[in-house]
Amino acid sequence: MSKISLPVIAATRKCGSCSKCCEGWLEATIYDKKMHPGQPCFFLEKGEGGCTIYADRPKNPCVDYTCAWLDDPETFPTWLKPNLSNVIITEKKIDNSDLTYYEIVEAGARLDAAVLQWIFMWALKTQTSIMYQLDGKFHTLATPQLDAAIAAVITEKNKKI
Ligand code: SF4
Ligand code: SF4
Protein backbone atom coordinates (compact mmCIF):
# COMPACT_ATOMS: atom_id res chain seq x y z
CA MET A 1 0.00 0.00 0.00
CA SER A 2 1.43 3.38 -0.93
CA LYS A 3 1.86 5.96 1.76
CA ILE A 4 0.16 9.31 1.51
CA SER A 5 2.39 12.22 2.48
CA LEU A 6 0.58 14.97 4.29
CA PRO A 7 1.94 18.52 4.31
CA VAL A 8 3.56 19.50 7.59
CA ILE A 9 1.60 22.37 9.06
CA ALA A 10 3.54 24.34 11.66
CA ALA A 11 1.55 24.96 14.82
CA THR A 12 1.03 28.62 15.49
CA ARG A 13 -0.03 30.31 18.67
CA LYS A 14 -1.66 33.61 19.45
CA CYS A 15 -1.43 35.86 22.50
CA GLY A 16 -5.23 36.06 22.74
CA SER A 17 -6.26 37.42 26.12
CA CYS A 18 -2.72 37.23 27.55
CA SER A 19 -1.00 40.55 28.28
CA LYS A 20 1.58 39.32 30.80
CA CYS A 21 4.54 40.86 28.97
CA CYS A 22 2.89 44.30 29.25
CA GLU A 23 2.04 44.09 32.96
CA GLY A 24 5.44 45.10 34.34
CA TRP A 25 6.90 41.70 35.20
CA LEU A 26 9.55 42.44 32.57
CA GLU A 27 11.53 45.68 32.56
CA ALA A 28 11.37 47.94 29.52
CA THR A 29 10.97 51.54 28.44
CA ILE A 30 8.12 52.23 26.02
CA TYR A 31 8.62 55.60 24.42
CA ASP A 32 9.73 57.48 27.56
CA LYS A 33 7.63 55.49 30.04
CA LYS A 34 9.33 52.88 32.21
CA MET A 35 7.70 49.52 32.90
CA HIS A 36 8.95 47.37 35.79
CA PRO A 37 7.60 45.21 38.64
CA GLY A 38 4.82 47.20 40.28
CA GLN A 39 4.50 49.45 37.24
CA PRO A 40 2.63 48.02 34.23
CA CYS A 41 3.09 49.63 30.83
CA PHE A 42 1.65 53.14 30.78
CA PHE A 43 -0.22 52.27 27.57
CA LEU A 44 -1.87 49.09 28.87
CA GLU A 45 -5.56 49.51 29.66
CA LYS A 46 -6.65 47.73 32.83
CA GLY A 47 -8.98 44.76 32.49
CA GLU A 48 -9.59 43.38 29.02
CA GLY A 49 -8.63 46.62 27.23
CA GLY A 50 -5.15 45.61 26.11
CA CYS A 51 -2.69 47.92 24.36
CA THR A 52 -4.14 51.37 23.73
CA ILE A 53 -1.52 52.22 21.09
CA TYR A 54 -1.32 48.84 19.37
CA ALA A 55 -0.97 50.18 15.82
CA ASP A 56 1.69 52.66 16.94
CA ARG A 57 3.51 50.56 19.52
CA PRO A 58 7.30 50.82 19.17
CA LYS A 59 9.27 48.15 17.35
CA ASN A 60 11.58 47.74 20.32
CA PRO A 61 10.48 46.20 22.61
CA CYS A 62 6.81 45.75 21.66
CA VAL A 63 6.76 44.50 18.07
CA ASP A 64 10.03 42.58 18.42
CA TYR A 65 9.22 40.82 21.69
CA THR A 66 7.76 37.34 21.75
CA CYS A 67 7.88 34.99 24.70
CA ALA A 68 9.20 31.45 24.30
CA TRP A 69 5.71 29.96 24.74
CA LEU A 70 4.51 31.91 21.69
CA ASP A 71 7.66 31.22 19.67
CA ASP A 72 8.10 27.53 20.24
CA PRO A 73 4.93 25.40 20.42
CA GLU A 74 7.00 22.26 19.84
CA THR A 75 8.80 22.73 23.15
CA PHE A 76 6.49 24.55 25.52
CA PRO A 77 3.13 22.94 26.43
CA THR A 78 -0.16 24.79 26.17
CA TRP A 79 -0.54 25.03 29.94
CA LEU A 80 2.68 27.08 30.18
CA LYS A 81 0.99 30.02 28.47
CA PRO A 82 1.97 33.00 30.64
CA ASN A 83 -1.58 33.94 31.69
CA LEU A 84 -2.23 30.32 32.72
CA SER A 85 1.11 29.50 34.38
CA ASN A 86 2.06 32.97 35.71
CA VAL A 87 5.56 32.69 34.29
CA ILE A 88 7.09 34.42 31.29
CA ILE A 89 9.88 32.48 29.58
CA THR A 90 12.19 34.44 27.29
CA GLU A 91 15.14 33.26 25.22
CA LYS A 92 18.13 35.53 25.90
CA LYS A 93 21.61 35.98 24.53
CA ILE A 94 24.78 36.59 26.53
CA ASP A 95 26.16 39.97 25.37
CA ASN A 96 28.72 39.80 22.57
CA SER A 97 28.31 36.06 22.03
CA ASP A 98 26.06 33.47 20.39
CA LEU A 99 25.42 31.74 23.71
CA THR A 100 21.78 31.60 24.71
CA TYR A 101 19.84 30.81 27.85
CA TYR A 102 16.23 31.11 28.99
CA GLU A 103 14.96 33.58 31.57
CA ILE A 104 11.95 32.47 33.62
CA VAL A 105 10.20 35.36 35.35
CA GLU A 106 7.39 35.19 37.91
CA ALA A 107 4.39 37.02 36.49
CA GLY A 108 1.83 37.63 39.18
CA ALA A 109 2.38 34.64 41.47
CA ARG A 110 5.13 32.62 43.16
CA LEU A 111 6.72 30.16 40.73
CA ASP A 112 4.56 27.06 40.94
CA ALA A 113 6.27 23.79 41.97
CA ALA A 114 4.82 21.88 38.99
CA VAL A 115 6.01 24.58 36.58
CA LEU A 116 9.48 24.61 38.15
CA GLN A 117 9.68 20.81 37.98
CA TRP A 118 8.75 20.79 34.28
CA ILE A 119 11.31 23.51 33.54
CA PHE A 120 14.09 21.71 35.46
CA MET A 121 13.37 18.41 33.70
CA TRP A 122 13.38 20.11 30.29
CA ALA A 123 16.58 22.06 31.05
CA LEU A 124 18.42 18.96 32.27
CA LYS A 125 17.22 16.78 29.41
CA THR A 126 18.15 19.31 26.72
CA GLN A 127 21.23 20.75 28.47
CA THR A 128 19.63 24.17 28.34
CA SER A 129 20.83 26.90 30.66
CA ILE A 130 18.18 28.76 32.62
CA MET A 131 17.89 31.70 34.96
CA TYR A 132 14.72 31.46 37.04
CA GLN A 133 12.96 33.67 39.56
CA LEU A 134 11.62 32.18 42.78
CA ASP A 135 10.01 34.36 45.44
CA GLY A 136 11.36 37.38 43.61
CA LYS A 137 15.05 36.35 43.60
CA PHE A 138 16.90 35.00 40.59
CA HIS A 139 18.80 31.70 40.52
CA THR A 140 20.49 29.65 37.82
CA LEU A 141 20.79 26.14 36.50
CA ALA A 142 23.41 26.50 33.82
CA THR A 143 25.96 24.53 31.85
CA PRO A 144 29.57 25.15 33.02
CA GLN A 145 30.09 27.20 29.84
CA LEU A 146 27.40 29.69 30.84
CA ASP A 147 27.46 29.53 34.61
CA ALA A 148 29.73 32.52 35.24
CA ALA A 149 28.06 34.70 32.61
CA ILE A 150 24.54 34.05 33.95
CA ALA A 151 25.71 34.49 37.55
CA ALA A 152 26.92 37.99 36.60
CA VAL A 153 23.52 38.84 35.09
CA ILE A 154 21.78 37.51 38.22
CA THR A 155 23.96 39.57 40.56
CA GLU A 156 22.90 42.74 38.77
CA LYS A 157 19.21 41.76 38.70
CA ASN A 158 19.09 40.76 42.36
CA LYS A 159 20.67 44.08 43.37
CA LYS A 160 17.53 45.84 42.11
CA ILE A 161 15.11 43.63 44.08
S1 SF4 B 1 3.57 36.93 27.38
FE2 SF4 B 1 3.74 35.80 25.43
S3 SF4 B 1 1.68 35.05 25.01
FE4 SF4 B 1 1.49 36.65 26.57
S5 SF4 B 1 1.09 38.54 25.42
FE6 SF4 B 1 3.31 38.41 25.72
S7 SF4 B 1 4.13 37.40 23.89
FE8 SF4 B 1 1.89 37.01 23.96
S1 SF4 C 1 2.91 49.73 24.34
FE2 SF4 C 1 1.32 48.18 24.14
S3 SF4 C 1 2.42 46.34 23.41
FE4 SF4 C 1 3.96 47.76 24.22
S5 SF4 C 1 4.27 47.09 26.36
FE6 SF4 C 1 2.73 48.74 26.33
S7 SF4 C 1 0.77 47.70 26.28
FE8 SF4 C 1 2.33 46.21 25.66
What is the pLDDT averaged over residues 52-68? 97
- Give domain status of residue 109, yes or no: yes
Task: Output the CA angle 76-44-105, nearest 5 degrees.
Answer: 35
Q: What is the largest CA-CA distance in the chain?
A: 65
Q: What pLDDT is attached to residue 49?
A: 81
Is there a domain that residue 87 lies in? yes
Closest residue by CA, ligand 2 atom 4: 62
Residue owning the nearest CA to atom 5 of ligand 2: 22
- Could you tell me what percent of the chain has a pLDDT over 70? 93
Q: Please report which ligand is nearest the Cα atom of 56.
A: 2
Q: Which ligand is nearest to the CA of 17?
A: 1
Same domain flag for 145 and 78: yes
Omega of the bond leading into 73 within 30 degrees of 0 (cis):
no
CB-based contacts of 62, cutoff 8 Å, min separation 6: 30, 51
Residue 10 has pLDDT above 80, yes or no: no
The answer to whether the CB of 93 falls within 8 A of the CB of 100 is: yes
Residue of minimum CA distance from atom 5 in ligand 1:
19
141 in the same domain as 94:
yes
Q: Residue 74: pLDDT band by 50, 70, 90 thresholds? A: very high
Question: Residue 153 and residue 97: Cα distance in Å, rounded?
Answer: 14
- Reported as a single tens digit per residue, the pLDDT across 91-109 is 999 888 889 999 999 999 9
What digits encode the pLDDT tens for the residues 21-40? Answer: 999 999 999 999 999 999 99
Domain identity same for 22 and 55? yes
Residue 3 lies inside a defined structural domain of this protein: no
Q: Which residues line ligand 1 (CB under 6 A)?
A: 15, 18-21, 66-67, 69-70, 82, 88
- Which atom number of ligand 1 is nearest to the Cα of residue 20? 1
Q: Do residue 61 and residue 28 come from a single domain?
A: yes
- Whether 5 has a pLDDT exceeding 70, the answer reads no
Whether pLDDT at 1 is above 90: no
Q: How far apart are the C-alpha atoms of 49 and 30, rounded to whole Å?
A: 18
Are 27 and 70 found together in one domain?
no
- The answer to whether 20 and 8 have CB atoms below 8 angstroms apart is no
Ligand 1 atom 2, closest CA: 67
Among residues 65, 90, 123, the one where a domain terminates is: 65
Backbone angles phi, psi at 103, to 5 degrees: -105, 130
Does the residue 150 lie in any domain?
yes
Q: What letter does residue 61 receive in the DSSP assignment?
A: I
Is residue 6 predicted with pLDDT exceeding 70?
no
- Total domains present in the chain: 2
Domain of 33? Answer: 18-65
Residue 42 lies in a domain: yes
Cβ atoms within 10 Å of 122's Cβ, excluding its own = 16
Q: Return mean pLDDT, the chain.
A: 91
Within a 13 Å sphere around the CA of 41, how many CA atoms are in the beta-carbon half? 23
Mutate to test the pocket of ligand 2, among 15, 39, 43 (most ligand atoms within 8 A of CB): 43
What number is the average pLDDT over the span 147-160?
Answer: 85
Same domain, 29 and 94: no
Residue 32 counted as domain residue? yes
Share of the chain above pLDDT 90, in %: 75
Residue 21's pLDDT is what?
98
Asked if the structure places residue 8 within a domain, the reply is no
Within this chain, do residues 59 and 72 fall inside the same structural domain, yes or no? no
